[in-house]
Amino acid sequence: HFHSFADSKIHGKPYHSSSFAESKALKLISEQGAEFVEFNKRQIAKVFPAGSRTTSSNFNPLPYWTAGCQLVTLNYQTEDMPNFYNWVLFSENGHCGYVLKPEILRNPSTTFNPNAAINKNEGIYLTLRVISGQHLPKAPGKSEVVDPYVEIKVNGLIQDKAKHRTDVVRNNGFNPVWDEKFHFRVRCPDLAMLLFRVYDYSQTGTDAQLAHFGLPISAITTGYRHVHLVTLRGAPLAPASLFVHLTVSKSDPIK
């Protein structure tokens, strides 16, 4: 049983596994982030949803992954963003087996605090050019032509979170063209993911989500790409895609 990080450092064994409720683990990450990372270098931590989630809703798994928690359990039956984050993380290995934690969460000779600021000289600059879309789906139950736009997010450590969106293209879900460029500063790419979400703009109500995609930023290389869109479950929406260009660099391309 887990008593404290100090106790586990003395008495804990590599084969010991501790279970934490989501709120308890989040409190430990907030108040003792570096100690939790060190704990997870030595032992296994399992985080489970609160018992109050009677509708099988989920918590955001990203803060727990950035602290090195190995087993972050979700209600897999629910189609939501937390499960989509899980799909994105494990896309790195073809959705089979496990994903090795980044070295900053494994190396015993270094310390890492997910709450602390990262050195401003570390990380990468990511430039994304959203060029066009192809065969975008319509919202369920709707037959009219869509007015699509794309939301692009970087999610990871607090200082790396950012969001941009394209303009709306009216009445064209077949081959909309945006040709817009966006810049992201990612200080810890090993713990970040790039997320695409395509919407149908509405003048009178809520914009409908049409399609998604995401991938770990550590897996991105420079070049032109066709982004094959999926549902929140990760089910293909072929032939729906986005045509983009990505540039990864160590220096600021705007300067």
Three-point CA angle 165, 182, 205, nearest 5°: 0
pLDDT given at position 255: 67
Looking up tokens 């705007």 gives 254
* Residue 151 confidence (pLDDT) above 90: yes
Residue 124 has φ and ψ, to the nearest 5°, of -135, 165
pTM, two decimal places: 0.93
pLDDT band at 117 (very low <50, low <70, confident <90, very high): confident
Domain ranges within the chain, ordered by starting residue: 5-105, 124-249
Q: What is the CATH number of domain 124-249?
A: 2.60.40.150
Tell me the pLDDT tens digit for each residue of 231-247: 999 999 999 999 999 99
pLDDT given at position 118: 80
